[in-house]
C-alpha cells in the first residue's frame, strides 16, 4: 500500500492510464454538504435505531413514524447543495469515455452536481413505490403534506423507494455496478465505511480483477489494507485537486460533452 500521504505521480499515472474508471461513493461524499453520515460521530445510526426506521417490519408496524423520519431527512437534503467533491466527480465523468459512478447514497446530490446516470444501489429518497402495485414515481413534495402518503391510483400506502436492511439491492443497479467493478481499470472509493455489503465488496471485486483501487476518506477503513492507496482527508478537498491534476496531466482534455459537468437546477425542491 502507498503511504496515506498524498497524490503521488505514480497514483496519477495509474489513474490516467485507466481506460475504464469507476467511482464508488458513500455518505461521506455528502457530509461536507451538511448531510449526516450513518456511522460517523454525528451519524444517523448513533441517534436512531435502524431496525425501527429502515426495515420492512418497521414500516409495516408504523408507516407514519418511518415516513416522518424520511420526511425529516428529505428536508435536510433539500437544504443541502452539492459540494466540490460531487462537482469534481461530475467534471471527471465529463472527460471520460468509459466512466461509471456507483453510489450508495439516496440523496440525489450527484445528479444535481451534473453526474449523468449514477447507479443508485440503495435507491433514491425522492422516489416512492406503491406497496400494492410496486410502481415507482417521483415524490418531490417537501415537506410532505400527507404522512404516510398514498398512491394516487389505487390508494395503497406508498413507501420510500430505498433499500432497507434485509432487502436485496435493485437487481439491475447491482448488475451494472458488478459489471463496472469487474471490468474497470481503476476505482476511486469515496466516503464509505465499506461496512455494508454488497456495495462494500465492489472495491475488492475490482482489485481482484486487476484494477488499481484508491480510497478517499477522512479515516482508514476495513478495506484500506487490501487496496492500492488511501488518501486520508476530506473528499471536498482531495477530489478537486486530484481531478485538476489528472486533467492537467492529460493536457486539459476537453469535456466529451461540453458543459456537461455544470450544475443543474435542484430537482429535489
Q: Does 63 bind ligand OAD (CB under 6 A)?
A: no
Backbone angles phi, psi at 212, to 5 degrees: -90, 120
Q: Does 31 bind ligand OAD (CB under 6 A)?
A: yes
Q: Does 130 bind ligand OAD (CB under 6 A)?
A: no
Q: Does 26 bind ligand OAD (CB under 6 A)?
A: yes
Residue closer to ligand OAD (CB basis): 25 or 185 = 25
Q: Does 37 bind ligand OAD (CB under 6 A)?
A: yes
Q: Is 129 helix (H, G, I), strand (E, B) or coil?
A: strand
Residue closer to ligand OAD (CB basis): 112 or 234 = 234
Would you give the DSSP letter of residue 145? S
Q: If we measure between CA atoms, which residue out of 78, 85, 114 comes closest to residue 25?
A: 85
Q: Which of 53, 101, 163, 223 binds ligand OAD (CB under 6 A)?
A: 163
Q: d(Cα 233, Cα 212) in Å, to the nearest integer?
A: 19
Q: Which of residues 174-233 bind ligand OAD (CB under 6 A)?
A: 191-193, 195-196, 216-219, 221
Minimum distance, C-beta of residue 230 to ligand OAD, in the bound complex (Å):
11
Q: d(Cα 182, Cα 203) in Å, to the nearest integer?
A: 9
Residues annotated catalytic, as ranges: 122
Q: Where are the alpha helices (DSSP H) in 9-151?
A: 9-17, 28-31, 44-47, 50-53, 56-61, 63-79, 84-94, 109-113
Q: Which of 122, 127, 129, 159 binds ligand OAD (CB under 6 A)?
A: 122
Residues 40-59: x where in contact with ligand OAD by CB under 6 A, - otherwise, as a string:
x--x----------x-----
Minimum distance, C-beta of residue 243 to ligand OAD, in the bound complex (Å):
15
Q: d(Cα 62, Cα 137) in Å, to the nearest integer?
A: 22
Cell numbers 437546477 correspond to 265
Q: Would you list the DSSP string of 154-185?
A: T-PBEEEEEPPBTPPPPHHHHHHHHHHHHH-S
Residue closer to ligand OAD (CB basis): 89 or 163 = 163
Minimum distance, C-beta of residue 155 to ligand OAD, in the bound complex (Å):
28
User: Which class for 116: exposed (0-12), middle (13-18), buried (19 or more C-beta within 10 A)?
Assistant: middle
Q: Does 246 bind ligand OAD (CB under 6 A)?
A: no
Q: Does 161 bind ligand OAD (CB under 6 A)?
A: no
Q: Which of 104, 124, 131, 268 binds ligand OAD (CB under 6 A)?
A: 104
Q: d(Cα 176, Cα 199) in Å, to the nearest integer?
A: 12
Return residues touching ligand OAD (CB under 6 A).
26-28, 31-32, 37-40, 43, 54, 104, 122, 163, 191-193, 195-196, 216-219, 221, 234-236
Amino acid at each position: 500500500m502507498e503511504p496515506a500521504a498524498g497524490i503521488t505521480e505514480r497514483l496519477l499515472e495509474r489513474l490516467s492510464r485507466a481506460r475504464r474508471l469507476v467511482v464508488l461513493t458513500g455518505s461521506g461524499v455528502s457530509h461536507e454538504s451538511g448531510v449526516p453520515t450513518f456511522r460517523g460521530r454525528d451519524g444517523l445510526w448513533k441517534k436512531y435505531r435502524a431496525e425501527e426506521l429502515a426495515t420492512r417490519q418497521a414500516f409495516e408496524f408504523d408507516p407514519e413514524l418511518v415516513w416522518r423520519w424520511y420526511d425529516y431527512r428529505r428536508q435536510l437534503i433539500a437544504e443541502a447543495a452539492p459540494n466540490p467533491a460531487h462537482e469534481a466527480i461530475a467534471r471527471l465523468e465529463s472527460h471520460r469515455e468509459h466512466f461509471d459512478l456507483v453510489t450508495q447514497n439516496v440523496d440525489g446530490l450527484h445528479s444535481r452536481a451534473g453526474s449523468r446516470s449514477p447507479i443508485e444501489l440503495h435507491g433514491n429518497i425522492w422516489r416512492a413505490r406503491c406497496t400494492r402495485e410496486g410502481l415507482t414515481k417521483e415524490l418531490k413534495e417537501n415537506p410532505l403534506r400527507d404522512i404516510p402518503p398514498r398512491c394516487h391510483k389505487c390508494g395503497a400506502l406508498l413507501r420510500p423507494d430505498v433499500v432497507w436492511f434485509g432487502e436485496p439491492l435493485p437487481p439491475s443497479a447491482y448488475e451494472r455496478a458488478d459489471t463496472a467493478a469487474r471490468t474497470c481499470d481503476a476505482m476511486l472509493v469515496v466516503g464509505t465505511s465499506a461496512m455494508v455489503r454488497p456495495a462494500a465488496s465492489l472495491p475488492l471485486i475490482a482489485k481482484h480483477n486487476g484494477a488499481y483501487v484508491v480510497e478517499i476518506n477522512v479515516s482508514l477503513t476495513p478495506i484500506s489494507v487490501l487496496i492500492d492507496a488511501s488518501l486520508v482527508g476530506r473528499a471536498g478537498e482531495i477530489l478537486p485537486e486530484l481531478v485538476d491534476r489528472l486533467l492537467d496531466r492529460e493536457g486539459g482534455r476537453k469535456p466529451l460533452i461540453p458543459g456537461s459537468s455544470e450544475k443543474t437546477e435542484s430537482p429535489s425542491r
